[in-house]
Amino acid sequence: MEQNDQNNQINKRYDLSERTVKFAEDIIKFCKIIPENTITKQIIIQLIKAGTSVGANYSEADDAESKMDFKHKIGICKKESREAKYWLKIINTACPLCKEKADMLWVEAKELNLIFNSINNKLKN
């Protein structure tokens, strides 16, 4: 039984649709615990926009009307995951107490960015 649970967890880890939804949910949960002030308020807004946009655009790519539309949406996923990495680094300066969680999310944003880069690079113009 334990082996099946491990296999299910591994399969879920590589389900990109679920993974991008989980990333968005984790970003939202993280932003809720960031102490809000005049500096962090703007960073939180930007981080939520970028972090939730990754999955939204992947969902759109999944239903693309053409190969060119798919490539465009994947390109947006790539850009938004890179932007999420940026804001996660910036929040470390604005809220040093958030560093551990921000760093964990940064790793996921980096992995998603690498995945979308790979998909994008495999697509021909």
What distance in Å separates the CA atoms of residue 112 and residue 82, rounded to the nearest whole number? Answer: 9
Burial of residue 56 (number of CB atoms within 10 Å: 0-12, 13-18, 19+): middle
Q: pLDDT confidence of 103, banded at 50, 70, 90?
A: very high
pTM of the entire structure?
0.86
Residue 105: which CATH number? 1.20.1440.60
Report the alpha-carbon distance of residue 49 to residue 3 in Å, rounded. Answer: 37
Q: 68, exposed or middle or buried, with CB in 10 Å at 0-12, 13-18, 19+? A: exposed
**pLDDT tens digits, 25-61:** 999 999 999 999 999 999 999 999 999 999 999 999 9
- What pLDDT is attached to residue 91? 97
Structural domain that includes position 6: 2-122
Task: Quote the pLDDT of residue 123.
Answer: 87
112 confidence band (pLDDT: 50, 70, 90): very high
**Structural domains counted in the chain:** 1
